[in-house]
Homo-oligomer: A and B are copies of this chain.
Amino acid sequence: MSDTMKAAVFVKPGTIAVEEIPKARVQQDDDVVIRVVRACVCGSDLWFYRGLSGQEPNSQIGHEAIGVVEEVGSAVESVKTGDFVIVPFPFSCGKCPVCKAGFESVCPHGGYFSASQAEYLRVPEADGTLVKVPGSPEDYDDATLASLLTISDVMSTGYHAAASAEVKPGDTAVVMGDGAVGLCGVIAAKMRGATRIIAMSRHEDRAALAREFGATDIVPERDQAAIDKVLAMTDGYGADAVLECVGSKQSFDTAIALVRRGGVIGRVGLPHDVTISAEGTFYGNIGIKGGPAPVRHYDIDGGLLDAVLKHEINPGRVFTAEYDLDHIQDAYEAMDQRKVIKALIRF
């Protein structure tokens, strides 16, 4: 058994290397080490790839993975060697009031992974973090494995947008953002019973996938033209719920203008320089909820794992290209240039 492993490393903006580094090992009693079976590149990884957010040079990267338990710390009770698991992008204690309220993604004792684009991954607080999948990876076809991978982040994040926006049966929901998260938001809005789902998309491939996922209408316009169109589609009242899956000021302002009075904006796009006027939203009784998605909560209590295993949803369709770890630079480039919606890394 080798003492090293291959791992993707951020060198500088635009450059991702694959290096041999010391293999991930159990360091604490509650750690587990996973052999990664599938990982992927996230839209949020593009922030450091493009030099728009800070990332330590020569640091490991990646936060989405499924895999098999390779090594188990002495205090871990919920999984054993050989178990097939989903690794949510946040790790969490699973026991504090924040976790118990269903918000593991902001557990004050937890954090976020940044090392999953590698052959092995150390998982701290394994009992409070991992989501167990029945059987082993060999029991599932590629499409199902891809969908299981999405519930480590993007599908759960899309669901968090819909849940935060309080989408309920009969609603008209608008989804801002046609990246993998927005597309998964369409799936989530449909799961929660929205009867009209308006996807904001100006890219033909993404719009087609949005329709496949349940979007009833596509709006390619932006800004005031988009607002006018959605208001016209809703008799001037606006949408019952808005899923904000972008995070820019432009997207946020559009969301506020689009939502029906008394409606809620569920936001999961990482905000960049956004401030919200307390007055504007107050006099419309507009709610704003959301943040990093509590993946484990939605996978287990929210039924996402079940829905994938029963093939009721197929969020893995967001992966439009796959790469091996040695070619991860190509995966980043393809996503940066919007040639693929989301890039899967196969091990």
Residues on A lying within 8 angstroms of B by beta carbon are: 96-98, 101-103, 105-108, 164, 234-237, 240, 252, 260-264, 267, 270-271, 274-279, 281-292, 294
Residue of B nearest to A108 (CB): B261
Q: What chain B residues lie within 8 Å of A102 (beta carbons)? A: 262
A282-B271, A285-B292 known; A262+B101 contact, CB < 8 A: yes
Q: Are B290 and A267 in contact (CB under 8 A)?
A: no
- The docked-state distance in angstroms from the alpha carbon of A235 to that of B287 is 28
- Please determine whether A270 and B282 come into contact, CB atoms closer than 8 angstroms: yes
- The answer to whether B285 touches A287, judged by C-beta atoms less than 8 angstroms apart, is no
B252 touching A285 by the CB < 8 A rule? no
Which residues of chain B are within 8 angstroms of A107 by Cβ–Cβ distance?
Answer: 261
Instruction: Tell me, rounded to whole Å, the shortest Cβ–Cβ distance linking A177 to chain B.
Output: 15
Q: Using CB atoms, name the residue of chain B closest to A279.
A: B271
Complex Cα–Cα for A252 and B263 (A): 21
Evaluate contact between A278 and B279: CB separation under 8 angstroms. no
Cα separation A105 to B285 with both chains bound (whole Å): 9
The chain B residue sitting closest to A172, CB to CB, is B97
A261 CA to B289 CA, complexed, in Å: 12
For the residues of A in contact with B, the DSSP-based class is mixed
29 contacts between A and B (CB under 8 A): A97-B234, A97-B237, A98-B261, A101-B240, A101-B260, A103-B285, A105-B285, A106-B283, A106-B284, A106-B285, A107-B261, A164-B287, A252-B278, A264-B289, A267-B282, A271-B279, A275-B278, A276-B277, A276-B278, A282-B290, A282-B292, A283-B292, A284-B291, A285-B290, A285-B292, A285-B294, A286-B291, A287-B290, A288-B289
Contact A287 B284, CB 8 Å, known A261-B106, A275-B277: no
A100 to chain B, nearest CB (A): 10
A43 to B161, CA, bound (A): 36
Give which listed residue, B261, B263, B278, B289, contacts A271 with CB less than 8 A: B278
Among residues of B, the one whose C-beta sits closest to the C-beta of A103 is B262
- The closest CB in chain B to the CB of A166 belongs to B289
Residue in B105, B279, B288 whose beta carbon sits within 8 Å of that of A287 in the complex: B288
Question: Shortest Cβ distance from A119 into chain B, in angstroms?
Answer: 30
A296, chain B: closest CB distance, angstroms: 13
The distance from the CB of A218 to the nearest CB of chain B, in whole angstroms, is 22
Contacts of A164 on B, CB cut-off 8 Å?
287
Please tell me if the beta carbons of B96 and A237 are within 8 angstroms of each other in the complex.
yes
Please give, as numbers and ranges, the residues of chain B lying within 8 Å of A240 by CB-CB distance.
97, 101
Q: How far is the CB of A10 from chain B (nearest CB, A)?
A: 22
Q: How far is the CA of A288 from the CA of B101 in the complex (A)?
A: 17
Contacts of A260 in B (CB 8 A): 97-98, 101
A-B interface, 3 closest residue pairs, ranked by CB to CB distance from nearest: A103-B262, A285-B291, A274-B278
